[in-house]
Amino acid sequence: MIDFKDRVVLVTGAGGGIGREHALEFGRRGAQVVVNDLGSDIRGEGSSDLAARVAAEINTAGGQAVSNNFSVSDPEQAKAMVKQAIDEFGRIDVVINNAGILRNRTFKNTTTDDFKLVVEVHLLGSAYVTHAAWPFMYEQNYGRVILTSSVSGIFGQFGQSAYGAAKMGMLGLMNVLSLEGRSHGIKVNCLSPGADTRMTALDKELGINPDKPRPQSHPKLVTPVALFLASEQAPTGMVIHGLSGRYLRSETYANKGIALSPDAVVEDLVENIDEVLDMSSARALSEPGNISLLGN
């Protein structure tokens, strides 16, 4: 059995949906859990004590949890939630960046304020919380960071330009942090979920009731990925999806490409464009060194 005894886990946005399932399961498996949630509505407005309820559930079941209502999108509040972990439990081993909001609009109709807020909560919020925990992980030579991405960024989803940009930004952050964390036992990965929550219920056509998730799309089915990525056996620099009970990995590929002469102009590129676009020779770019191997 995979347990998290003596491990301190911070889960952001853990008052409901997927984050709540993560927090409860870490609690069941012996972790000391910091449950964070602003308790906002889906658009990021308002606040409530959702997090306190989840912490109470964990404690009532015999686990150990504390809670806070801090916002991940404020760097000082991000620091404060990590400080709470240190003050209450003495360390921080795992950060699960899960908090999120949605403001769906086509790019033409979105406002720059909405765009900014979505990026602030998802991408900057994840960076702020991770940045606050990073020195402690570095010092103790151990850490697990999970960034919640989405197929919306990795493959694209109509009406989610800011959300998709932020979710794809998680991969960029992961790629660099997984390199920088390697020498200090810090593993950084992306989790791409799919489950019935109030977020997916926003799309009325799907007919989802977040209070009665379909068994195959229950948010608790995402949690095994979070536990794996938080465990001793965690890889680093990977994107793992937990989509309605289906578990898979996705990767960035590039083809071999072509080398043109130093005096090449756009016409030379266009002349060879079929070869440039042909992905039949594509290879994974999971190691940065692979980029320099291209064309050899």
- What residues act catalytically? 163
194 contacts ligand NAD (rule: CB under 6 A): yes
Whether the Cβ atoms of residue 44 and residue 128 lie closer than 8 Å to each other: no
71 contacts ligand NAD (rule: CB under 6 A): yes
114 contacts ligand NAD (rule: CB under 6 A): no
3-state secondary structure 87-115: HHHCCCCEEEECCCCCCCECCCCCCHHHH
CB of 57 to ligand NAD, least distance (A): 14
Whether the Cβ atoms of residue 129 and residue 72 lie closer than 8 Å to each other: yes
Whether the Cβ atoms of residue 285 and residue 250 lie closer than 8 Å to each other: no
Whether the Cβ atoms of residue 143 and residue 93 lie closer than 8 Å to each other: yes
221 contacts ligand NAD (rule: CB under 6 A): no
Interface residues for ligand NAD in 124-153 (CB under 6 A)? 125, 148, 150
Segment contacting ligand NAD by CB under 6 A, of 11-19, 53-61, 269-277, 283-291: 11-19
32 contacts ligand NAD (rule: CB under 6 A): no
Order of strands, sheet of 64-68, starting from the edge strand that comes earlier in the sequence: 64-68, 32-36, 8-11, 94-97, 143-148, 186-194, 239-243, 246-250
Alpha carbon of residue 137 to chain centroid: 18
Residue 226 or 234 having the CB closest to ligand NAD: 226
Residue 81 or 142 having the CB closest to ligand NAD: 81
Name the site residues for ligand NAD (rule: CB under 6 A): 12-13, 15-19, 36-40, 42, 44, 50, 71-73, 98-101, 121, 125, 148, 150, 193-195, 197-200, 219
